[in-house]
C-alpha cells in the first residue's frame, strides 16, 4: 500500500533561485519527514502547448494516509511546509491519493 502526496509548483518568478533553494534547502527538509519512503521530483514539459505544465512536480510516498498525516504533523513536516512559502513564488498545490498499481504484467 502506498499513499502519495503530489506537490505541483507554478512557474516561479526566478526559476534559478527557486531551483537553488529547492535543491539546497527544501529537499533536505522534506527528506527528514518521518515515514517518507520515496521522494521524486522533476521539471515536466507539457505534451500540449495550450495547457502549460507545472514548473516542478514532487511526489512523496508514505505507507498510508495516516502515515502521511503523522509525517506532515511532525516538527519536520511543519518545517518543510513552512519552507514552501519562502520560495514557491508561483504557488503550490498539494493533493494526495492511494496509489493503485495497474502496471502491465511481466
> Given the rule CB under 8 A, which residues bind a copy of itself?
4-6, 27, 31-32, 36-48, 51, 53-54, 57, 93-104
CA 99 to CA 1: how far, in whole Å?
A: 7
Q: Which residues of 18-52 are buried (b: 16+ CB within 10 A; e: fewer)?
A: beebbeeebeebbeebebbeeeebeeeeeeeeeee
Closer to a copy of itself by Cβ: residue 13 or 101: 101
Alpha-carbon distance of 41 to 30, in angstroms, equals 12
Alpha carbons 8 and 35: distance in angstroms, whole number: 21
Q: Which residue lies nearer to a copy of itself by CB, 13 or 105?
A: 105
* Nearest to a copy of itself of 6, 74 (CB atom): 6
Smallest distance from a copy of itself to CB 100, Å: 5
* Distance, CA of 81 to chain centre: 10
Minimum distance of a copy of itself from residue 17's CB (angstroms): 19
Q: How far is the CB of 24 from a copy of itself (least distance, A)?
A: 12
Q: Which CB sits closer to a copy of itself, 37 or 86?
A: 37
Shortest Cβ 106–a copy of itself spacing (Å): 11
Amino acid at each position: 500500500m502506498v499513499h502519495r502526496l503530489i506537490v505541483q509548483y507554478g512557474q516561479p518568478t526566478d526559476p534559478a533561485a527557486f531551483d537553488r533553494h529547492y535543491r539546497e534547502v527544501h529537499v533536505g527538509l522534506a527528506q527528514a519527514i518521518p515515514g517518507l519512503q520515496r521522494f521524486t521530483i522533476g521539471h515536466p514539459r507539457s505534451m500540449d502547448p495550450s495547457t502549460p505544465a507545472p514548473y516542478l512536480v514532487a511526489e512523496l510516498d508514505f505507507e498510508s494516509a495516516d502515515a502521511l498525516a503523522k509525517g506532515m504533523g511532525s516538527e519536520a513536516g511543519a518545517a518543510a511546509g513552512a519552507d514552501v512559502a519562502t520560495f514557491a513564488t508561483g504557488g503550490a498545490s498539494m493533493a494526495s491519493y492511494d496509489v493503485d498499481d495497474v502496471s502491465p504484467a511481466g
